[in-house]
Amino acid sequence: TILPLFMMYIPVGLATSLPIFEIKTGRIANFTAASLAIYPFLEPLIPMMCIKEFKNVLLCRRSRKVASRTTFSTPVSGIQSSSAIL
């Protein structure tokens, strides 16, 4: 996805390759540390906002579906009393 590319790979790649070409990495190094720290928080939010059920829970939306009633009953005629015969 695009998020790991911009939050991990490009900043780390620039922070490690720019000093080879004698380019200072002052602010880039700060962004690299910050983006690596924020990435684990942002990664799960993307699927949560893309999957409809997760998004409804996050935004406190209630579904308007009417729940069907299900009743369970047991037949009474099948009950037998047990008695001990000695």
Confidence (pTM): 0.57
Q: Report the C-alpha gap between 62 and 38 in whole angstroms.
A: 30
Q: Is residue 78 part of a domain?
A: no
Task: Look at 25 and 72; give whichever has higher pLDDT.
Answer: 25
Instruction: Report the distance separating Cα 7 and Cα 14, nearest Å.
Output: 12
Domain membership of residue 67 (yes or no) is no
Instruction: Provide the mean pLDDT of the chain.
Output: 81
Report angle CA 66, 67, 71 to the nearest 5 degrees. 145
Return d(Cα 43, Cα 86) in angstroms, integer.
Answer: 72
In this predicted structure, the answer to whether residue 65 has a pLDDT above a threshold of 90 is no
Range of the domain at 54: 2-59
Comparing CA positions, the residue from 38, 20, 19 lying closest to residue 29 is 19
Q: Considering its fold, how many domains does the chain have in total?
A: 1
Residue 14 · residue 29 · CB < 8 Å: no
